[in-house]
Structure 1
Amino acid sequence: MTPASVTAFCPGHISGYFRRVDGRNPATTGSVGAGIVISEGVTATVRPAERSSVVVRVLSSGGGVPVEVSRSSPPLISALEKLGVTIAVETACRLPISAGFGLSAAALLATLTATNRLLDLGLPADEIAEVAHETEVTFRTGLGDVAACQGGGRVVRTGPGIHGTIFRSFDLDAPVCAVSFGPIHTPDVLGSPPQMARVAAAFPARQPETFTDFFACCREFSAGSGLETPAVQRVLAECDRHHIPAAMTMLGEGVFAYGNQARDVLRPFGEIYEMGMADAGVRIMEVTA
């Protein structure tokens, strides 16, 4: 018997640095780099429908009241079409969209995982991730977030795509706090050869083994990539003054910082989003009969 609805959650991913890797097709195209899979992400609820539809909601900062922000998502509709299904989708998140938190990948993984359970498609997790990754690459909304969000931890990706080698370290037990000044239009960056050449040149030569070196690599990358804005530079300078590990969110005009004092240091710059490191990837949350 088909459930009335299925809800899945997928954590987001803050990328600290990356380099595009072009393959023969979307499946083999992606990126290498490093980031943190975060406890905040996207919840997707799916229901049977004769035609696919999408409602996107963001929880307001005041009391967590869901505010509808969109009734369309071409990547989600495209992914559902690839599976040959029609579904009514409602997604919700607390973090700002298009601000460097990997929410497009999280929405795809959560939606497809819930759909797989709802319709009993029997797809293995790898196949769901492949569809999500190829959709991200095709729509230029991300390159490596899907691969990272398959699990938790602080991740270092040394190969492109969901089958690339990923090292996961679970060494962040204090809060990760972020402040966002707005989106960076990801397709404009990922689709710009000159910008991507500068990004590639700034890619760190070493693989960080500790979270301290991870933040150092991120800072070297953002400074060399030309992506830092004046607002981001002001926040990073203040974090340096207080000896708080911090870096720019990729790709978003914002900063993420680590440690128990991070919230107080970031507070003067705007609304603070506090989260932790995720210990797992996408998962089913609820099945309603």
Structure 2
Amino acid sequence: MTTAYAPGSVTTVFVPRSDPAEGSLGVSFAVEDGVRATVEPADETTVRLDGSTTAFEPVAGVLDRLGVTAAVSLSADAPVGRGFGASGAATLATALAVVAEFDLDADREDALEAAHRAEVTAGTGLGDVFVQDVGGFVWNTGDGRDRTERTDRIEYSSMGDIATRDVLDDESAVANVADAGTETLSAFHPGDSLQAWFEASWASRSEPNCRRRPSNGRSNASSTPAARRRWRWWVRRCWRRASTASSTRRRASRTRALTCCRHRK
């Protein structure tokens, strides 16, 4: 029996690519809350999430890709189905645990690639696992993936769920997200605070043709009524201010760097 951990992650902006295997452009950060996957050999594959049997397609898919059958037990600290990359974290943690448990002729990069392709095939992610693999504050604006370590303390409120697949299967929504994301990424600066970047990416003001100005005075992105509509689904999916009175869950967390697979026999 082997247990591995992967952190959750939040993507503030993303731009899908024509080839999903390449991941996506965007700005994300890992959070301390994540998913632990415990794997042991079995005659048939089963997946349990917090004690309940579940059909977790990307997890089952990564087992198929790695050529094993196993009983997988997932324990999630990050909210599931609410924009915290829990499916990616579960899939990556499972892949890392499988490689260790079955002593496969595979390295970390093989596990990462298998997890990514399982997520893409399941329609549950376009690159979350790459963020979760390295941790910290991660971005790719078109010149390759880069990162920096951050230890910001944040609070979050979980406001409800939305299926990633529902968005990724909607060609119109994906096109709108790509347009708005490209516009917003043009304002990105890695020195901006998380608060400033959320303010820039939410595009939540009601005034037409307003400019979103990060609080530290760095470059900003325009926000048109169309852009606000494009991002509304993302606001519902992920983050609200922690002071929201109707919050269903609130807890403190930190961004963190995941430097190696943590597993135990």
Q: Deviation of residue 43 (structure 1)?
A: 0.2
**Cα distance between partner residues in 2 of 1:151 and 1:85:** 25
Q: Residues 175 and 273 of structure 1: is their aligned pair in 2 closer, same or farther, counting only changes over 3 Å?
A: same
For 1:84-123, what aligned pairs fall within 5 Å after superposition? Answer: 84-123=67-106
Deviations 1:113-164 (A, max 9, x none): 01100111031111111111111111110112011111111111235xxxx8
Q: Distance in 1 between matches of 2:79 and 2:52?
A: 11
List per-residue Cα deviations over 1:91-111 (Å, max 9, x = no partner): 011222110000111111101
How far did 1:266 drift? Answer: 4.4
Identity %: 30
Pairing 1:34–2:27 present: yes
The residue number in structure 1 matching 2:148 is 169
Equivalent runs, 1:10-89 vs 2, <5 Å:
10-23=6-19, 26-28=20-22, 30-57=23-50, 68-89=51-72
Range with bigger deviation, 129-138 or 276-285: 276-285
Query: Contact (CA 8 Å) 2:159, 2:240: kept in 1 or not?
Result: no
Q: Distance in 2 between matches of 1:165 and 1:41?
A: 25
Q: For residues 10-40 of structure 1, what are the alpha-carbon distances to aligned partners after superposition, in whole Å with 9 as ceiling and x for unaligned?
A: 00110101011021xx523x31100111111
What is aligned with 2:218? none
| Higher strand fraction (1 or 2) | 1
Judged with a 3 Å threshold, the aligned counterparts in structure 2 of structure 1 residues 155 and 208 are, in CA distance, closer, same or farther, namely: same
Question: In the alignment, what sits opposite 1:255?
Answer: 239
Q: Give ranges in structure 1 of 5+ residues lacking alignment.
A: 58-67, 230-247, 258-262
8 Å contact 2:134–2:258 — kept in the other structure? yes
| 2:9–2:30 CA contact under 8 A, matched in 1 | yes
Which string of whole-angstrom CA distances, capped at 9 and with x for unpartnered residues, describes residues 166-185 of structure 1? 211223x3322111121112
Distance 2:68 2:189 in 1: 42
- Let me know the Cα RMSD of the aligned residues: 2.3
For residues 111 and 144 of structure 1, the distance between their equivalents in structure 2, rounded to whole angstroms, comes to: 16
Q: Decide whether the 8 Å contact of 1:8 with 1:282 is kept in 2.
A: no
SS of 2:3's equivalent in the other structure is strand
Distance 1:40 1:256 in 2: 17
Q: Distance in 2 between matches of 1:267 and 1:276?
A: 22
For normalisation by structure 1, the TM-score amounts to 0.75
How does the TM-score come out when normalised to structure 2?
0.82
Q: Give the aligned partner of residue 211 of structure 1.
A: 192
- Contact 1:6–1:284 at 8 Å: present in 2 too? no
SS at 1:176 equivalent: strand
